[in-house]
């Protein structure tokens, strides 16, 4: 699941439209939950805006910030 996310983000950074769709679809239950109290056209607005915001956020997401496994283990040993 998380491996897949990583690959999706890599593709999104290369402007892969399908990857964006797939990524956003994994958050669909959450988005539906967030929009359920809105009127129909507001619902659509928020969904659309969220898709745009998510895409923007993923494009600027730095995927090189993860710690090394070794460093993480050192933390656990303490």
For other proteins, the binding residues (CB under 8 A) are 1-7, 9, 27, 30-31, 34-35, 38, 42, 45-46, 49-50, 53-54, 57-58, 61, 63, 65-70, 72-74, 76-77
Shortest spacing between CB 21 and other proteins, in angstroms: 14
Q: For residue 33, give Cα distances in angstroms to 25, 37, 78.
A: 13, 8, 41
76 alpha-carbon distance from chain centroid: 28
Min separation Cβ 49 and other proteins, Å:
7
Reduced to 3 states (helix: H, G, I; strand: E, B; else coil), residue 67 is coil
Minimum CB separation of residue 40 from other proteins in Å reads 13
């Amino acid at each position: 699941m998380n491996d897949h996310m990583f690959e999706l983000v890599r593709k999104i950074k290369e402007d892969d439209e399908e990857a964006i769709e797939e990524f956003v679809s994994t958050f669909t239950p959450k988005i539906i939950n967030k929009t359920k109290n809105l009127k129909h056209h507001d619902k659509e607005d928020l969904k659309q805006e969220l898709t745009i915001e998510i895409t923007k956020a993923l494009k600027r997401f730095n995927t090189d910030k993860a710690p090394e496994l070794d460093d993480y283990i050192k933390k656990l040993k303490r």
